[in-house]
Amino acid sequence: MKQIAQYQDGRLELQDVPVPTAPPGGVLVRLTHSVISVGTERMKVEQAKMNLLQKARARPDQVRKVLDSAKTLGWKAALEKVRNRLEMPTPLGYSAAGIVIAVDPANTRFSEGDRVAVGGAECAFHAEQVAVPDMLAVKVPDSVPNWQAAYTTIVSIALQAVRQMEGRLGERVLVIGQGLVGLLVTNLLHASGVRVMALDVAAAREKLARAMGAERVVIAGLHDLMQNVREWTDGYGVDGVVLATAVGSNKPTEQAIETIRDRGRIVIVGNTKTDLPWKDAFAKEIEVRYSRSYGPGRYDPAYEWGGSDYPIGYVRWTEQRNFEACLHLMGTGALNLSDLTTRRLPFTQSLDVYKALASDEPSSDVGIVLEYGDAPPSVTSIPTANAAQVASRRAAASAAVQRIQPATRLDVIGAGNFARTMLLPHVKGQLPLGTVVNNTALSANHVRSKFGFAQAGTDPNALFADESNAAVLIATRHNLHAPLVKAALSKGRHVFVEKPLCLTREELVDIEDRLAQSSGSVHVGFNRRFAPATVELKKRLANIPGPKTISFRVMAGALDPAHWYANYAESGGRVLGEACHFLDYFCFLTDAPVVRVSAQTAWPVTGRLPFPDSVTAQVQFADDSCGQLIYSANGDSSWPKEVCTVFAAGMVAEIENFQTLAIHSGRKRTVTKHEGKGHAQQMQAWLSFVKGEGPQPIGFGDIRQSMALTFAVLESIQQGRAVDVV
């Protein structure tokens, strides 16, 4: 299928990419129409054309992330991460409509053939087919044609701004900015009985603004704004202002403060500079509200991707219910979309539109509708879940894997930035690369091209339908690890899976059973075992008798609630998703069975995140060694992210960020420099194994123990006592 791809050097391509696969509970949609929001998408095109210095100035938050990465990974790895992110193509589009052609078995709201409006910058791309979750799709009424329904997401942005304004019948509101969203705000306010004055810099927008319901239109530079406001409001000032601009100047904000009445309300919907003049804002006691995109539920993965709707008694207007309200307005004729639509053209001509947007020539376009044609392309149906339980038997955790033959190629499932930066560069050229599977078709296609895979796809089930002897690397989100590992083992595959192996003890037992019947193997990405600093430390410890005391302090930093790690259903939380690394490290350095663990959470233990963000754990081993983990979301970035200290007979060793190893022994301190956290060495060892050239890097018995210890840490927190590790 075809999809628009934008590169960070400004290039735009219409690429052939794999057909996407519907997410759990979602649908696959063949688009008939999508809308180019001229203002928003011009901004994206302009940002892509910026050089690195301009990008850094525009996004100082991203610069800080790079600097933090450099402290822990080193400049080389940090710059490689930046390079990978910059060279990765990104999709465009977020508002579309089409026809459902496949439905996930968990979805009961939609059927094949339904006409739907779909939204979301993460899924509703300018592409021939899109895969969207249940909450970002809504059925289109019979009275609404698809070209209008394609506006649903954009109209919802305007509708949410109107809801935030809370304008009452007869009130007077100034809408600053008459781009696509601003014009829709004008239209919706007028439809709700609010009187509207519109302000824009382009004289050509006057006719459109009046068609959308503006009583009065002020063109900056031609008309005096304050004189018009005084006359229109009897000298009081407007009741509210909607800022629908996207400029780096603070002038629209100053105009809003100047024109608004005492105790009026400003609603900000555009990406514009908003430095409030304190004296004027304070004197008028102005209320300022931001309008968050399509409405409540936006940026909440539990809502959008997990299908957890908000009760209507508590949240009347969610983003999906806003979608429905917009479609109803379209059906009644209350929205004037015909005047807004300046062009309708075939999808195949879309690159010409973006070239025009990227030029310095002024554009008269407002809303541009792309049309995809009526002939449905072929699609691979979504497989239904198999309810049959595979018979299994428990195997000893230390049992040796009986390999039939070396792997002939490598398939990859999950190709995010971590995989592209830390794993795949060390695979290329080592083993023939077969299929790369990624949730986003555009990303899969890019990785196929960059690393030389034979093909790309979005459905891992299709990959496992191949009976050939291929190894598989799994680097998806954590909740998919166990199902994919079990599917791979059922096909006799050798599996590399990023940590954690699974999210529950039950999944661990299932994997162990599946492994006992498989000719495949399992390796988990505990890369710190393979770091050069670790290898040197392990050599020194090998000659020292007696138990060891190990302290591992991790200053992880606060978890961004918008990060997918904050979605417990996907990540399992930070203990399972991250702390398992350091618990495994204890097991590796001591080479002794784990006996028990006592753990507790650290501040904060309540709030927005429903799981431990910071944890301390004390681990006891059978040889009387002990490990103390301090994994903290608190601290300061000047402190190293990871510090491991080992106390042994006649020696103290300390690793800092796996970049330096300090050995204190014989009244001397020796420091050696090292590079990397072991990703390259780990991949080399695993590939050597799957090619039949070397031993298995980590036995499943060791993997099982590290995962059992991690689960015991969570149980200790929950039960408030020490827990035996079994």
CATH of the domain at 342: 3.90.180.10
Any residues with CB less than 8 A from the CB of 631 and at least 6 apart, and which?
A: 554, 556, 574, 575, 578, 579, 582, 614, 615, 616, 617
Examine residue 394 and state whether it is found in any structural domain, yes or no.
no
| CATH at residue 569 | 3.30.360.10
Residues 6+ apart with CB under 8 A from 524: 497, 498, 499, 500, 501, 698, 703, 706, 707
Q: From 456, 367, 461, select the one nearest 19 (Cα to Cα).
A: 456
pLDDT value for 374 = 59
CB 436 within 8 A of CB 447: yes
Question: Does one domain contain both 142 and 172?
Answer: no
Query: What's the CA gap between 699 and 524, in Å, rounded?
Result: 10
Give yes or no: residues 338 and 262 share one domain.
no
Give pLDDT, residue 56. Answer: 58
710 shares a domain with 567: yes
Predicted pLDDT at 573: 87
Last residue of a domain, one of 237, 264, 290: 290
Residue 378 lies in a domain: no
pLDDT in tens, 480-490: 999 999 999 99
How many beta carbons lie within 10 A of that of residue 232, not counting itself? Answer: 19
Residues 623 and 519 in one domain: no
Whether 695 is in a domain gets the answer yes
The amino acid at 287: E
pLDDT of residue 34: 97
pTM for the predicted model, two decimal places: 0.81
> pLDDT at position 542, please?
92
In a domain, 379, yes or no: no
E strand or H helix at 303, and its extent? helix 301-304
Determine contact, residues 446/85, Cβ cutoff 8 Å.
Answer: no
Are 84 and 102 members of one domain? yes
CATH of the domain at 260: 3.40.50.720
Contacts of 83 (CB under 8 A, 6+ apart): none
Q: What is the amino acid identity at position 710?
A: T
DSSP string of 595-613, one letter each residue:
EEEEEEE-S--SSS-SS-S
Where is the domain boundary, 503, 524, 545?
Answer: 524
> What pLDDT was estimated at residue 611?
62
Among 371, 396, 423, the domain-final residue is 371
> 195 and 105, same structural domain?
no
Torsion, Cα 295 297 301 302, to 10 degrees, reads -170
Specify whether 303 is located in the same domain as 325: yes
- Is residue 384 situated within a structural domain? no
DSSP secondary-structure letter at 519?
Answer: S
Integer-rounded Cα Rg, in Å, for the chain is 29
Task: Examine the domain organization and report whether 576 and 643 are in the same domain.
Answer: yes
Classify residue 716 by burial, with Cβ atoms within 10 Å: 0-12, 13-18, 19+: buried
Alpha carbons 32 and 96: distance in angstroms, whole number: 8
Q: ω into residue 695 within 30 of 0, thus cis?
A: no
Domain count across the chain: 4
Residues 418 and 432 in one domain: yes
Q: Print the domain residue range for 632.
A: 529-724
Q: Is residue 400 part of a domain?
A: no
> Are 511 and 413 in the same domain?
yes
Same domain, 565 and 699: yes
pLDDT in tens, 575-623: 999 999 999 999 999 999 999 999 998 765 555 555 667 899 999 999 9
Within this chain, do residues 510 and 425 fall inside the same structural domain, yes or no?
yes
Tell me the residue length of the chain.
Answer: 726
In a domain, 634, yes or no: yes
- CA 718 to the chain's CA centroid: 29
714 within a domain of the structure (yes/no): yes
171 SS3 class = coil
What average pLDDT values come out for the chain (726 residues) when binned by 10 residues? 86 91 93 88 66 61 70 74 79 96 88 95 95 96 96 97 96 96 97 96 94 96 94 95 92 95 95 90 94 93 91 95 97 93 93 80 84 56 32 36 70 93 90 93 93 93 85 95 96 95 95 94 96 96 94 90 82 91 96 95 62 87 96 90 96 96 96 95 95 93 96 90 91
Q: Give the angle 416-417-422 at the CA atoms, nearest 5°.
A: 110
For position 608, what pLDDT does the model report? 54
Strand order in the sheet with 615-621: 668-673, 660-665, 651-656, 642-648, 549-555, 626-632, 615-621, 594-601, 723-724
